[in-house]
Copies of this chain bind each other. A is one copy, B any other.
Amino acid sequence: MDGAEFRRRGKEMIDYVADYLENIQERRVFPTVEPGYLHQLIPDHAPEEGEKWDDLFKDIERVIMPGVTHWNHPQFHAYFPSANSYPAMCADILCDAIGCLGFTWASSPACTELEVVMMDWLAKLLNLPEQFLSGGKGGGVIQGTASEATFVALLAARQKAIQDYRHNHPEIKNGEEVADKLVAYCSDNSHVSVERAGLLGRVKIVQLPADDKQSLRGDTLQEAINKDKSMGLIPCFVCATLGTTSSCAFDNIKELGPICEKEGIWMHVDAAYAGSAFICPEYRYLLDGVEHAMSFDFNPHKWLMVNFDCSAMWLKDSSYVVDAFNVDAAFLKTGGNDIKKTMPDFRHWQIPFGRRFRSLKLWFVLRLYGVRALQDIIRKQIALAHEFEGLVVKDGRFEIVAEVIMGLVCFRMKGPNEPNEKLLELINKNGRIHLVPGKIKSTYFIRFAVCAKSTESKDIAYAWSVIAELATRIISENKR
């Protein structure tokens, strides 16, 4: 494919995806294919000679679409939104064409520099404390996902804890002895990625019980710290979640923060989903306490119109991450030492080495939408969630499981879990809408998330009508 053909085919693809997104509601939101469907539809090896574009293009509908779960469908209410916008898509075309890797400043200066500025723009939108802005010890960086951000924070906290301990105990010869004593905390409602970070980082993670609003409280944390310290362990890290995956609950960082600061523990605040809402002043109170955090992360690729991947992470002091990650080589020493003092070396702030020019997506989205429009989208989606909540409450067979604060409604049929499991299974099999479950302690429930940016009131009403209808079916089946 040469440039001339790309101009033609690339534009065909633009029209195709625009058609796809404009007419997505005509498709079944959740596919009916069985595992293994795809390999039967295509050859088992690559072709020797290049094929025609038209044959490949036809196969998008024949091979791919039947197996797609349509995350941008107005009847998709599963997991959390995965952001998708035309400005971000345009930016990604540019990102691909430039195709630079930004592992050092010199490898493509604009890649590092736009990211620094975009992370400052975002920080100001969220009214983050100044310590997270560039120009001082801290700064922001784009990670691939919140789970990587949590892992990076844990690794930095581990580094800091070992350093601090050895500084205070010069008799310790070996960092390994210290490492084995480290312990980290999170709520028992935290995302699985926290547990995984501990598994991979070889730091013991203790899941502490959240309160009856699924929020991790200060006294619970302090008690755990006291107990562990008395046993000779070294608390080093707390992952506090603002907007948990299961029920969008908020750990109490106004209580947790000062405790962590006093105890010298690294608090990482994970606001993967809810963080985008903090661009609205009326929701910013939920972020109070972040001034005590050593690191903070949220995903513009969930709710801020920036296509995956784009997870925004800030550090109060990047030197801990850099120290944990810094291994350098000859071919990277292009450009001199001065650069390091003014510009971050982002490869030391992340797990991978190479990195794409993802800040272009932020730049396009923030400039073409503007703050006001982005706030409006958040507000509208939260309003839609409350509309759904209202419908749930009106139906006496159902109950709301957790306070609705953002775009997620957790609900269930009153009574035992089993009918709810059956209901969800029937909902997804029936295929008109798509939802996934959640669990708080032993209570099973169904999660309704407002996802596609095209979701309207009629979609809320429709979703509820489907749920109510299928619940009736489940209840009468049960009676028989």
Is A308 a contact of B13 with CB atoms below 8 Å? no
Cβ of A444 within 8 Å of any chain B Cβ, yes or no, is: yes
Report the separation of the CA atoms of residues A339 and B34 in the bound assembly, to the nearest whole angstrom.
9
CB contact under 8 A between A48 and B324, given known A84-B99, A90-B10, A99-B72: no
Oligomer: number of copies:
2
Nearest-neighbor residue (CB-CB) of A176 within chain B: B180
Q: Ordered nearest first, which 5 A-B pairs have the shortest CB separation?
A: A67-B110, A17-B97, A38-B113, A50-B370, A6-B86
Is A14 a contact of B6 with CB atoms below 8 Å? yes
Q: Which of A355-390 contact B (CB under 8 A)?
A: 356, 360, 363-364, 366-373
Instruction: State how many angstroms separate the Cβ of A394 from the closest Cβ of chain B.
Output: 26
Cβ of A1 within 8 Å of any chain B Cβ, yes or no, is: yes
Cβ of A328 within 8 Å of any chain B Cβ, yes or no, is: yes
Is A7 a contact of B13 with CB atoms below 8 Å? no
Cβ of A170 within 8 Å of any chain B Cβ, yes or no, is: no
Interface flags for A59-87 (1: CB within 8 Å of B; 0: not) read 01001111111111000001100111111
Is A108 a contact of B3 with CB atoms below 8 Å? no
Cβ of A288 within 8 Å of any chain B Cβ, yes or no, is: no
Given A46-B366, A50-B367, A69-B100, 8 more pairs with CB closer than 8 A: A35-B343, A36-B342, A38-B117, A39-B116, A46-B370, A48-B372, A192-B332, A308-B356
Instruction: State how many angstroms separate the Cβ of A181 from the closest Cβ of chain B.
Output: 10
Total count of chain A residues near the partner, CB < 8 A: 144
**6 interchain pairs, CB-CB under 8 A:** A2-B86, A20-B98, A36-B342, A38-B114, A49-B370, A351-B351
A332 CB contacts on chain B under 8 angstroms:
192
A338 CB contacts on chain B under 8 angstroms:
35
Cβ of A22 within 8 Å of any chain B Cβ, yes or no, is: yes
Report the separation of the CA atoms of residues A180 and B176 in the bound assembly, to the nearest whole angstrom.
7
Is B330 a contact of A439 with CB atoms below 8 Å? yes
Instruction: State how many angstroms separate the Cβ of A193 from the closest Cβ of chain B.
Output: 5
Is B86 a contact of A192 with CB atoms below 8 Å? no
Instruction: State how many angstroms separate the Cβ of A177 from the closest Cβ of chain B.
Output: 9
Report the separation of the CA atoms of residues A144 and B42 in the bound assembly, to the nearest whole angstrom.
25
- A199-207, A213-221, A232-240, A467-475: which lies at the B interface? A199-207
Is A329 a contact of B192 with CB atoms below 8 Å? yes
Nearest-neighbor residue (CB-CB) of A83 within chain B: B99
Nearest-neighbor residue (CB-CB) of A370 within chain B: B50
Cβ of A325 within 8 Å of any chain B Cβ, yes or no, is: yes
Is A11 a contact of B14 with CB atoms below 8 Å? yes
Cβ of A396 within 8 Å of any chain B Cβ, yes or no, is: no
**Which secondary structure dominates where chain A touches chain B?**
helix
Report the separation of the CA atoms of residues A148 and B200 in the bound assembly, to the nearest whole angstrom.
13
A51 CB contacts on chain B under 8 angstroms:
367-368, 370
Instruction: State how many angstroms separate the Cβ of A249 from the closest Cβ of chain B.
Output: 14
CB contact under 8 A between A105 and B35, given known A98-B68, A202-B179, A437-B333: yes
- A119-127, A252-260, A290-298, A455-463: which lies at the B interface? A119-127
Is A331 a contact of B438 with CB atoms below 8 Å? yes
Cβ of A18 within 8 Å of any chain B Cβ, yes or no, is: yes
Is B39 a contact of A86 with CB atoms below 8 Å? no
Is B93 a contact of A14 with CB atoms below 8 Å? yes
A343 CB contacts on chain B under 8 angstroms:
35-36
A88 CB contacts on chain B under 8 angstroms:
96
Cβ of A45 within 8 Å of any chain B Cβ, yes or no, is: yes
Cβ of A53 within 8 Å of any chain B Cβ, yes or no, is: yes
Report the separation of the CA atoms of residues A96 and B50 in the bound assembly, to the nearest whole angstrom.
24
Partner of A89, one of B93, B196, B366, B371: B93
Q: Which of A435-480 contact B (CB under 8 A)?
A: 436-439, 444, 447
A199 CB contacts on chain B under 8 angstroms:
324-325, 327
Nearest-neighbor residue (CB-CB) of A67 within chain B: B110
Interface flags for A1-31 (1: CB within 8 Å of B; 0: not) read 1110111011101111110111000000001
Is B71 a contact of A372 with CB atoms below 8 Å? no
Is B39 a contact of A117 with CB atoms below 8 Å? yes
A86 CB contacts on chain B under 8 angstroms:
1-3, 5-6, 9-10
Is A69 a contact of B109 with CB atoms below 8 Å? yes
